[in-house]
Amino acid sequence: MKIFLDTADIDEISFAVSAGVIDGVTTNPSLIKQAVEKRSGSVNMEEYIEKILELTPGPVSLEVISVEFEKMVEEARLLHSRFRKHGNVVIKIPVCSSLDGVNNLYDGLKTIRKLAGESIPVNATLVMSPEQAILAAKAGAMYVSPFAGRIDDYIRDKIGMRRGRDYQKSEYYNFNLMKNVESLMIEKTLSSKNISSPKEVYLDNEVKDAVSKLNDNGISSGVELVKSIVTIFRNYGFKSQVIASSIRNARQVREMAEIGVDIVTVPFYVLKEMLTHSKTIEGINDFVKDVVEPYRKIFAR
């Protein structure tokens, strides 16, 4: 499994590269905004992007800013031609770029198809379902990025939980616990009814509501979303690589690795979380404390 760093911060990229642990970088307009604000807005953007590409040992995803087919194609060509001499440029295109769910629904797919035909590598972004992933792969995306953390948030929000109040962004989403909650909710609903047949259970609206709130169209977590996409791609030999995105914690990284995902892209703080463990810190303190003088003298020569 390859690890990409999900950031536009040169300091973070430089440090991670020096540690030899990242294979690429993914950026987006929000991450670029954060990097610019960190530097009080005083950034020569073209030089800054060049430096990111020159630092990174693998692909760097740069995202377009428009949502219409013609403009996205134009921006993608501009980004690719302007920066490809500095590194491995991949263009991020939203799988669906519609702002209202009605207009230009297919512009993202059309753009992916057009760019793929011009041998411009595309990372299909904002993928929230296996169905979207299938379409992105068939359109020719080199990479497909399902947003695991956002699906976890969406499911928690559906049952009335709110980020910052009931859970934090980096908090692990316990989908095994949620499956148990689902069973308890169904049992509680049924206990208050006089239902005598499987048909009545299946057709009961309260039962349907209890079940639908705890998943997203049958997907119970961000991990399950990625697992479904990986399975489908392998079933049909799709060439697109899956980038597990919107990763919030180290446990998610491990679970993505267990699935066998091609790539996971993580924010900088997750790298630190992956490395640290209280027993490791305890152990290194013990080892340092226990060094005997004869052994220390070996290193003093």
Q: Where are the alpha helices (DSSP H) in the chain?
A: 10-19, 29-38, 45-55, 69-83, 107-117, 130-139, 148-158, 175-191, 198-203, 205-212, 222-236, 250-259, 268-275, 278-289, 293-298
**Total domains present in the chain:** 2
Q: Are residues 215 and 227 in the same domain?
A: no
Does residue 273 have a pLDDT over 90?
A: yes
Residue 261 and residue 48: Cα distance in Å, rounded?
A: 30
Among 214, 112, 80, smallest CA distance to 156 is for 214
**SS3 of residue 127 by DSSP:** strand
Residue 286 lies in a domain: no
Q: Are residues 210 and 184 in the same domain?
A: yes
What does pTM read for this prediction? 0.93
Residue 174 and residue 279: Cα distance in Å, rounded?
A: 23
Evaluate whether 70 touches 45 at the Cβ level (below 8 Å): no
Buried b (16+ CB within 10 A) or exposed e, 284-299: eeeeeeeeeeeeeeee
**Tokens 């066998």 belong to residue:** 260
The two three-digit tokens of residue 281, written as one number: 């810190």
Residue 285 lies in a domain: no
Residue 63 and residue 31: Cα distance in Å, rounded?
A: 11
* Model pLDDT, residue 252: 97
Residue 6 lies in a domain: yes
Per-residue model confidence as pLDDT tens digits over 58-92: 999 999 999 999 999 999 999 999 999 999 999 99
Q: Are residues 122 and 187 in the same domain?
A: no
Per-residue model confidence as pLDDT tens digits over 118-174: 999 999 999 999 999 999 999 999 999 999 999 999 999 998 999 999 999 999 999
User: Residue 228 sits in which domain range?
Assistant: 2-159+221-280
Buried b (16+ CB within 10 A) or exposed e, 264-282: bbbbbebbebbeeeeeeee
Residue 293 lies in a domain: no
Burial class (CB in 10 A: 0-12, 13-18, 19+), 201: middle
Residue 80 and residue 30: Cα distance in Å, rounded?
A: 20
Instruction: List active site positions.
Output: 92
